[in-house]
Structure 1
Amino acid sequence: MSAEKTPCISAIDTTNFARQIVLDFEFAPVPKQRQRRGLRNEIIEVGAVKLDYHGNAMGEFSQFVQTEFTEGVAYPVRELTGISAVDTAMADPLYVVIKRLSDWIGRYSAQVVCWSGADHRQLLTECQAKHIDLSAFPTDWADLQAF
């Protein structure tokens, strides 16, 4: 699914959604010789906070992600995030983490809130490259950086 075909909202909308999911991915670069299907980065951690329509925190989600094309975690990423190669090696692959995240979000109408469009693009690109089904994942995203 391309970003052009995916609905995207540029402002937080608390009237039409039961939940807001504040989402942040950490990702690491894929070495050029290992890049496949346009995948230049891989998600190594998923962090999220679920808010009700009043903005009250309802829960947190945090999981490391096992990489498929990136070996280890490059020094600059490790220094910035504190995520090690052991963290990603012991983690579940992205398709498992996305399924858990979707289940955690639940079947409520939800809008994903993130900082910039990078997380949204990364999720779409990586899931397409790895043939991961996003049909149960919210499609409405708000970009905090846009305003």
Structure 2
Amino acid sequence: MKYVVVDFEWNQSPYGKNTSNKRLPFEIIEIGAVKLDENGREIGQFSKVIKPKVYKKLHHVTKSLTGITEKELSLGSPFPEALEAFLEWCGDGYMFCTWGNLDLMELQRNMKFYHLEDMLEGPIKYYNVQKLFRIFYDNENSTASLEYAVDFFKLRNKAGFHRAVNDAVYTADVFRKMDWKEAEKWYTVDYFRNPKTRKEELKLIYDTYSKYVSKEFVSKEAAMADREVRTSRCFKCGKPAPKRIRWFVGKNKAYYCLAECEEHGYLRGKIRLKKTDEDKIFVVKTLRSIDPDGAGHIADLKEEMRQKRQEKRHREGTHEG
């Protein structure tokens, strides 16, 4: 298998969030990529500047970080032309690698804006090199920057950061340092193009947790009433894990539960409700192994949320009185 390590630079409205195009809040202005063979050897590079259609003036942060100029952008290729050239360069039988989880999501959003979704099949399976770095080398730093990882491995060269091909090269250098057999266990799936039907739903199993991405529902209530959404099953043995604490709303509007497998112990369930561009709802549910202390934290969180609801009702009752 080949690996395409890709990075995108994008621009946004220079006049503030309120002036953004809701269909395209971030417009890709540069594609950079490195192709590796199955042994990690570099076998090609791709670099293309894209002429913007929506945000022709650079946001000051984009300009400062990348050093790209508006004159350079004006000489770039239109996005459809650049995308076609990039995908042709990728070829067949490859796996995307990125630093972080935003690049492929924004690529697909840009493709959707131009009605080019059919050019790349989704949901996209890929390696998030930032996630792999966190798992293998830096568990405490969940948002480690690419610069941090490069310095960690002493890989810095003369190229600067925040130009697409440079960042792709650095990401490839970091990726080469990893145990690829172990990395295979920790692939990521981008679900910008989420499952539409029960048949398309995603059920992913990792060493320490499972992830379920549901079909679409018409409302939050319909999603949370669905049996498959609410079920708790041990990802290690596949058996039902009875709930010790049923689903409740926690912080950041996520739902939590505590389940227990007779053989493998406690599981923390977490549900996030996602909204599509068409205002449909789908669910991302994780079930993760936790120890008794972690189980205690779930119980504490439920009590904390109960007290907050009680205090809110009291305040509202006092105000009405």
TM over 0.5: yes
Correspondence for 1:19: 2
Correspondence for 1:8: none
The correspondence of residues 47-86 of structure 1 with structure 2, limited to 5 A, is 47-86=32-71
In the TM superposition, residue 95 of structure 1 has moved relative to its aligned partner by 0.9
Q: Which segment drifts farther, 75-84 or 40-49?
A: 75-84
- Provide the rounded CA distance (Å) in 1 between the counterparts of 2:110 and 2:43: 28
Residues 65 and 141 of structure 1, relative CA distance in 2, 3 Å threshold? same
Residues 80 and 61 of structure 1, relative CA distance in 2, 3 Å threshold? same
Residues 137 and 92 of structure 1, relative CA distance in 2, 3 Å threshold? farther
Check conservation: 2:33, 2:46, Cα contact below 8 A: yes
Is the partner of 1:101 in helix, strand or coil? Answer: helix
Residues 40-84 of structure 1 show CA distances to partners (whole Å, capped at 9, x for unaligned) of 110010000000000000011001011111022222211211111
Task: Report the AA paired with residue 70 of structure 1.
Answer: Y
Check conservation: 2:108, 2:117, Cα contact below 8 A: no
What are the ranges of 5 or more consecutive residues in structure 2 without an aligned counterpart? 133-321
In the TM superposition, residue 35 of structure 1 has moved relative to its aligned partner by 0.6
Correspondence for 2:21: 35
Q: Which segment drifts farther, 83-92 or 50-59?
A: 83-92
In the TM superposition, residue 137 of structure 1 has moved relative to its aligned partner by 6.5
Check conservation: 1:23, 1:113, Cα contact below 8 A: yes
Task: Report the AA paired with residue 27 of structure 1.
Answer: W
Residues 114 and 101 of structure 1, relative CA distance in 2, 3 Å threshold? same
CA RMSD of aligned residues (A): 1.7
Residues 97-137 of structure 1 show CA distances to partners (whole Å, capped at 9, x for unaligned) of 1100111111x300000011110110111111221244356
Point out the structure with the larger helix share. Answer: 2
In the TM superposition, residue 89 of structure 1 has moved relative to its aligned partner by 1.1
Task: Report the AA paired with residue 20 of structure 1.
Answer: Y
Correspondence for 1:132: 116
Task: Report the AA paired with residue 60 of structure 2.
Answer: Y
Correspondence for 1:91: 76
Is the partner of 2:119 in helix, strand or coil? Answer: coil
Residues 40 and 136 of structure 1, relative CA distance in 2, 3 Å threshold? closer
Task: Report the AA paired with residue 135 of structure 1.
Answer: M
Task: Report the AA paired with residue 111 of structure 1.
Answer: M
Is the partner of 1:40 in helix, strand or coil? Answer: coil
Q: Which segment drifts farther, 86-95 or 25-34?
A: 25-34
Q: Which structure ranks higher in relative contact order (CA pairs < 8 Å, sequence separation ≥ 6)?
A: 1
Check conservation: 2:12, 2:20, Cα contact below 8 A: no
If the length of structure 2 is used for normalisation, what is the TM-score? 0.38
Q: Percent identity?
A: 25
Matched, 1:45 2:30: yes
What are the ranges of 5 or more consecutive residues in structure 1 without an aligned counterpart? 1-17
If the length of structure 1 is used for normalisation, what is the TM-score? 0.79
Task: Report the AA paired with residue 49 of structure 1.
Answer: V
Check conservation: 1:34, 1:69, Cα contact below 8 A: no
Is the partner of 1:102 in helix, strand or coil? Answer: helix
Where do 4+ consecutive residues of structure 1 move more than 2 Å?
30-34, 133-140
Check conservation: 1:25, 1:44, Cα contact below 8 A: yes
- Provide the rounded CA distance (Å) in 2 between the counterparts of 1:70 and 1:88: 11
- Provide the rounded CA distance (Å) in 1 between the counterparts of 2:36 and 2:25: 31
- Provide the rounded CA distance (Å) in 2 between the counterparts of 1:137 and 1:21: 16
Q: Alignment length, in residue pairs?
A: 128
